[in-house]
Amino acid sequence: MHLHRKLALAGVLIAGLAVSAFGQDPSALEDNYQAKLKKDFMKHIAWEQSYDTALAKAKEANQPVMAYFTRSYAP
- Domain assignment present for residue 61? The answer is yes
Give me the domain span that covers residue 57.
Answer: 25-70
Q: How wide is the angle at C-alpha 63 spanned by C-alphas 45 and 6, nearest 5°?
A: 80
- Domain assignment present for residue 55? The answer is yes
- Domain assignment present for residue 10? The answer is no
Q: How many structural domains comprise the chain?
A: 1
pLDDT in tens, 19-66: 555 666 778 888 888 888 888 887 787 778 888 998 999 999 999 988
- Domain assignment present for residue 50? The answer is yes
Cα separations (Å) of 57 from 2, 43, 46, 66, 70? Answer: 37, 18, 10, 12, 22
- Domain assignment present for residue 32? The answer is yes
- Domain assignment present for residue 14? The answer is no
Q: Is the pLDDT of residue 12 over 90?
A: no
pTM for the whole thing? 0.42
